[in-house]
A and B are shown apart, each in its own frame.
Chain A
Amino acid sequence: NAGVTQTPKFRILKIGQSMTLQCTQDMNHNYMYWYRQDPGMGLKLIYYSVGAGITDKGEVPNGYNVSRSTTEDFPLRLELAAPSQTSVYFCASSGTDSQPQHFGDGTRLSIL
């Protein structure tokens, strides 16, 4: 079972560049989430989706965009990278909104 798969694992971007963080899950989960994790702070929700075609903002959505064209995939787009977006990004999924979330291995992103 692959679970939640994130690519890439590491990336260095220059300020102003764009990139897409990929996330796919094979558990047929309706709910998917994007978090960022910064040192000394709790996970912060960026965007989430309750099903294909439906996305909504979380606590820290500025500078990011998402889409959910299929149940399996939930990519996160950074349009104009800024140093403040240096972080570890986790994608997660769950069957319902109250079930435990399953996490991918994370993407470590540095903006220089």
Chain B
Amino acid sequence: GQNIDQPTEMTATEGAIVQINCTYQTSGFNGLFWYQQHAGEAPTFLSYNVLDGLEEKGRFSSFLSRSKGYSYLLLKELQMKDSASYLCAVMDSNYQLIWGAGTKLIIKP
């Protein structure tokens, strides 16, 4: 079957750096997406990786290793507004997104 694993919850301190990991086993691979979802709101797109390596976008970076079935989202200079759930999603061979359950990130002052 298809499976996306990410930690359920993480806690970090304002101003620090946090890395949220995602491992996947899917039937085919056509890219990996990271979304941010604040409580009670819609998911919003953060990043997309289809080739191995690091993609940097401001305070957020995303890394992919296709051979290891592994990605991480790196958040730097954490702000209170970064408290949210972070969803990892893999596009399978049918170009459908398989979603992880999300990682709830709690930022403490």
**Which residue of B is nearest A99, CB measured?**
B48
Q: Range of interface residues on chain B?
A: 20 to 34
Once the chains bind, are A98 and B45 in contact (CB under 8 Å)? no
Q: Spot the interface stretch: B13-21, B62-70, B76-84, B89-97.
A: B89-97
Contact of B31 with A by CB under 8 A: yes
Q: Is the CB of B101 within 8 A of A42?
A: yes
Contact of A41 with B by CB under 8 A: yes
Which of B42, B95, B98 lies in contact with A103, CB distance below 8 A? B42
Q: Is the CB of A98 within 8 A of B87?
A: no
Quick one: which of B33, B43, B87 has the most chain A CB within 10 A? B43
Q: Known A40-B101, A41-B101, A100-B33; judge A105-B96 contact (CB<8 A).
A: no
Q: How far is the CA of A90 from the CA of B37 in the complex (A)?
A: 12
A58 touching B4 in the complex, CB below 8 Å, given contacts A43-B87, A103-B42, A104-B42: no
Q: How far is the CA of A40 from the CA of B85 in the complex (A)?
A: 11
Docked Cα-Cα span, A1 to B31, in Å, equals 27
* CB < 8 Å neighbour of A58 from B30, B87, B96, B102: B96
Interface size class of A (residues with CB under 8 A): 10 to 19
From B30, B91, B100, give the contact of A42 (CB < 8 A): B100
Also in contact, A98 and B42, with CB within 8 A (given A42-B98, A43-B99): no
Whether A100 contacts B101 by the Cβ 8 Å rule is: no
| B88, closest chain A residue (CB) | A42
| Docked-complex contact A42 and B42, CB < 8 angstroms | no
Chain A residue with the shortest CB-CB distance to B45: A100
Chain A residue at minimal CB-CB distance from B101? A42
- Per-position binary interface string of chain B over residues 24-66, scored 1 when its CB falls under 8 Å from any chain A CB and 0 otherwise: 0000001101000000011111001000000000000000000
